[in-house]
Every structure is written in C-alpha cells, then in structure tokens.
Amino acid sequence: MAGIPSEVEESLDASDGAGDVSTSLDMTTRLFTALHVYHDDTLHSAAMNMAIDEALLEHATAPSIRFYRWHSPALSFGYFGRFADVKSYTRESDLVRRWTGGGIVFHGDDLTYSIVIPGGDQIFAESSMSLYEKIHRALVNALADRGQRATVAAIGDRGAGGSNAGYNEHCFANPVRADVMVNGRKVAGAAQRRTRSGLLQQGSIQGVDLANGLAERFAQALSANRSERTIAQEILDRAREFAQQKYGTDSWLRMR
C-alpha cells in the first residue's frame, strides 16, 4: 500500500542495529498512551476484512490495532484504482477495493493490520503524514528487536526493481515517503482514510520474518499500555452490512 505519495527530505533511520525494543523505546515517547489490540485469527474474505476495518473505525473508543488473516489469496487495491488493472487476477485472488488509497497489494503471506484512531483522541489532531511516519518508526523498532535493520524511506527511494510508475502499480515496487525499507527493498507500506469519525490506516508487512511475535512487538512499540480485545458482536454485525452493501458488491469493485 502506498497512500501517502509525498517525498521526504532526509533518511529517517529509527534503528541503530539490533537492540531490545522495550529498552530503546523507554528513551522515547511511544505513539499511543493506550492501545486496544485485536488479534483476529478468523479467516475472513477480502470484503469482510475491509468491512471490519470500517466498522471498527465507526465504533472504536480508543486507538486500536487489528491484525488479521485471509481465507484465501487476496488482492486489495486503492479507492482510486482502476478495476481494469486488476481484473486479470480474478481467477487466482479474492479481489477487493479498499476504502483507503494506494496501489495493488497481494495478501495471504503478509502480516496485515489496521490502525484506528478515533476523532476524539488527542493524537488525531496530528497530520496524516506525521502519524504514518510515527507508526512506521515503531515498526522499525519492532524489527530491530530481532536484529533486522530497517529504515524509513527517504526521498528518491524506489526500491530494488522499482520504477516511476503510477500509484496504481504494485505497491511494494514503489516506496514512498516513510515506507519501511530493508536493504533498499520495501517491506511495509500503508494507506489511510481520514473522516470525522477518525483515521484508518491499513498496512501490509511482507518480505521479512513475520514469526517470533512480530505483531506483539509492533503493538508494544506503539504503546506501553496495551489491552487485548475481541471484536464485539455489534462490530461484526455492522461489518456484515458493509460487506453485503459495499465491499462485496460488483458496483464497488468496478466503480472505476
């Protein structure tokens, strides 16, 4: 995903080699004073995953992160993307148009997450770019905890094999400002949607070791005060409405 296509003026390296993430972050201010953490192990369709994210944005009372899985190989593409660019994948992937922007992302072997910040939370006042960058700085620290040196993308970074293609090209071939890079290769990107209700960031992490508790370390890097939650039935019911009326419809998929 690449939803913040502006450029950055300098390298933003948030890791100084391998180190303990809890120790390094004790020296800084973590992004959220409190964070609700959802480990959603249910295998959802692509439409339902998008729908749960929107329903969570609608109902969240505190900053929240949801890690989730897919019931089959899936492809998501940004709100402004063209269906013509992805229709050839229909037979092999569960296709869905995201509510957020960005390019084409393949899902199934990645660690997919969403972060929701309610409009009433103090941090919502920060710019979208600032939040995007700080979230990815936290991820860099989480990767460093297991010896993986990562950086936050700087101006001109195009990644290994990257190009100057449009935003609707494959997202992981086209890093933008504040994406996460390892050895010149993009390993994490995201896209955002900001409404009166709050901010939704949908992100994908791939091409690195996703085992050894990366999700837990990422959440820890975002907040020292975390509480494990399960998705309420009210949110699931609302998500089913979104999936049936929006994300799972042909009109939404082919709107452009």
60 SS3 class: coil
For the entire predicted model, the pTM comes to 0.84
Q: Is residue 3 part of a domain?
A: no
Q: Is residue 131 part of a domain?
A: yes
Of 60, 74, 105, 171, the catalytic one is: 171
Taking only the tens place, the pLDDT of each residue in 213-255 is: 999 999 999 999 999 999 999 999 999 999 999 999 999 999 9
Q: Which residue has the higher pLDDT, 160 or 228?
A: 228
6 is catalytic: no
pLDDT of residue 29: 72
Residues 6+ apart with CB under 8 A from 239: 48, 51, 52, 54, 55
What's the structural domain count of the chain?
1
pLDDT of residue 3: 52
CATH number of domain containing 171: 3.30.930.10
Q: What are the Cα distances from residue 54, in Å, to 16, 72, 242, 251?
A: 36, 21, 8, 18
Q: Is residue 2 part of a domain?
A: no
Least Cα distance to 152 among 189, 126, 115 occurs for 189
Q: Is residue 76 part of a domain?
A: yes
15 SS3 class: coil
Q: Is residue 8 part of a domain?
A: no
Q: Is residue 6 part of a domain?
A: no
